[in-house]
Structures are given as structure tokens and as C-alpha cells.
Amino acid sequence: MDQVLSLTVGIFKETWHILNESSVYILFGFSAAAILKTFIPDSLVKKQLGGNGSGSVLKAALFGIPIPMCCCGTVPFAIGLRKQGASRGATTAFLISTPETGVDSIAITYALLGPLFAVYRPIAAFISAIFAGFLENIFNKEKDIFESRQHDSEPSCGCHSCPSGGESVANNSILPLKERFRISINYAFGDLLGDIGKWLLVGLFISGIISYAVPDDFFSRYLGGGFISYIVMLVMGIPIYICATSSTPLAAALILKGMSPGAALIFLLAGPATNAATMAVVGSTMGKRSLVIYLSSIAVSAVICGYILDLIFGGAGINIKEQVFDGEREFFGVWTTTIASAILLFMIARSMWLEKFVLSPILLNKN
């Protein structure tokens, strides 16, 4: 009984420590998401990504980097882009760069993994996206016809950040600035936080378990480094559903237990951009060849970017473990981080309560 109690307390302390390290930055990330939604409506994004050519691929990859949207929210949005004339390459690039990173995940990456990782992660996502987009345009040139039946069954993920849930945000450009900002705040700390929040809590809890229970040299001892660890992280990341924000604490915990930064990056790139629902929709709407290009591009670019990141850390002589939860980056006192953690937990609980007891009954009544 004492051992169980000790284990429970230890895991709770580690989880709370990780939450405190990241809560202020998570709140900042969601606030930035609200600002993005206020000044950059979805209709502008769709307008800019139409047409063929490399320019649309570059813009799609670049647009996707700051947008905080999970992969199951990205898929129906990307389908909307295709319907409005976006090229295959642009659609593919947007499908990859958007879930792999965002203002919220960049903020928590800085908090947990350091400035170098925080800068490199969106760059890697951009490279991965344009690589896939260019390949798609090169090897899938034939003009495809989109039939409405192909899009009748979009992924049922419960997301409220999907276009159906965020329609009022997407079409709010004619409203006064104050009203647009209010709608965007409700989107960021309501719909979006509701989609990500529960997975963020799961990620924090698993990170607490790893931090407390796994030996510090576990991964370096049993997996070693280099290619084997890359493949393991790739195999782990591709089939599971995990968003860019909630995967970051997991990556931090894995690094503390001996995982190389490059292997952790592979998990951060592959996990958010791929899961069963995404692959099913990509295959049904864009074809099997597009699905092969989509998955192979993510795998190849993730491994290459991970290898380069390991070279950068090794060449610069930076110990990645010293970057994780680095107290020198802590600009806020204990009370500030504790209050931020309490606010974040309250907002997550509120959004989950609204989803279960307010939004779900409304959607059921509509159906």
C-alpha cells in the first residue's frame, strides 16, 4: 500500500512539475491563436492557396505553420481548399504543416525543449510539407474530379475546430473588430482548447509516469542511438492520434530518459500529421497514389530532419537534457506558474463540460 501511495504521489509531482513548466506558454499560445483567428480569417487562407505550381505549395506550407489546428480539424479544412481549386500539392502541404506545428505547440516547445528545438521544429515541418507538396505535383499531375460523395463522410473526430465547428470564426471578417476578437477568444479557449485539452492532460500524465518510473538511461541503453531509434519513433508516431501540443511533453520526457533530440523530433513530426482517420480520408479523396506520397514524404523528411538535428546538437556540443525544463528560461515565479496551471486546468475542465453537456445535446437535437 505504501509503495502504491509513493508511486501515485511521485507521478503526481512529476506531472504537476511539467504542467507548471508549460502552463504560461500554453496560455500564451492559445491567446496567439485567438489573435490569428481575429486578423487572418479562414476565407483569406483559402483564397491564397488556389491554383497550381510551386508558389501555392510554398504558401500552403507557410500558412499552415502558425495555425493551431489538430489533424482531424485540418482534413475537412483541406478538403474545402481542394473544392475551391487548391492544387494537390498545396492541399498536401497544408495537411502536413498545419498539424505538425502551430503557435501553441511552438510556445510549449520553447518552454519544455529550449529555443533551438523551438526554432527547428517549425522549420522541419515546413520542409516536410513542401517536400510532400512538390512530390505530389510531380507524380500526380492528372486532373482529378471531385465528386460530392467523396466528401460526405468526413472524419468524425468530435472536433469543434473543424470548419463546421468554426464556421462563425471563418466568416466573421465583416464583423467589428471587438466582436471578431470575442468570437476568436471563444474559439481558442473553447472549441480549440476542448479538442486539445483532454489529449494535453493525457500527454502530461504519461510524461509524469515516464519521468518518475523510467530509468534515466533507458532509451540509450536499450535502443541505442541513430537509425534504430528513428525507425522506432516513426513506427510509434504514424498510426497513433496525438496533437502537436500534447506530444511535446511526451517528447521532453523521452529525451530525459535517453532519447536523442532527432528521434524525439521524428515522433513530433509523424505523430500529429498521421493517424488512421487522416489516412483514410486522404486515400478516399485524393487517391491511393497521393496517400503513398503523403506517408512516404513524412517518413523520409522526418528521418532526415531528425538526423540533421542530432548533428546540430552534437556539433554545437549542446546537451539536450540540460535544455529540457531549463530553469534559466523560467521568467515567471512559482505563484505565477501555479496560477497559470490552475487557470489552464479550469479552462480545460470548462471546455470539456460544455462539450459534453451543452454542445453534444445541441448536435444530437439537430440530427
Render pLDDT for 11-32 as a digit per residue (tens, 0 to 9).
Answer: 898 888 878 877 887 787 678 7
Question: Cell numbers of 329, please?
Answer: 528560461
The closest alpha carbon to 98, from 114, 78, 119, 118, belongs to: 78
Report whether pLDDT(167) > 50: no
Closest CA to 183 of 25, 29, 33: 33
d(CA 21, CA 11): 15
Lowest mean pLDDT among 15-29, 164-178, 202-216: 164-178
Q: What pLDDT is stored for residue 352 in this prediction?
A: 78
Residue 127 has pLDDT above 90, yes or no: yes
Is residue 118 packed enough to be buried (19+ CB in 10 Å), middle (13-18) or exposed (0-12)?
buried
Single-letter code of the amino acid located at 245:
T
Most confident of the following: 126-130, 143-147, 231-235, 249-253? 126-130
Mean pLDDT calculated for residue range 137-148: 60
Residue 54, pLDDT above cutoff 90: no
Judged against a pLDDT cut of 60, whether residue 153 lies above it is answered with no
The predicted pLDDT at position 220 comes to 65
Q: What is the pLDDT of residue 163?
A: 45
311-346 burial, b at 16+ Cβ within 10 Å, e below that, comes to: eebeeeeeebbebbbeeeeeeeeeeebeebbeebee
Q: What is the mean pLDDT of residues 65-92?
A: 73
- Average model confidence (pLDDT) across the chain: 77
Its pTM stands at 0.73
Find all residues with CB under 8 Å of 326, minimum gap 6, and list them. 114
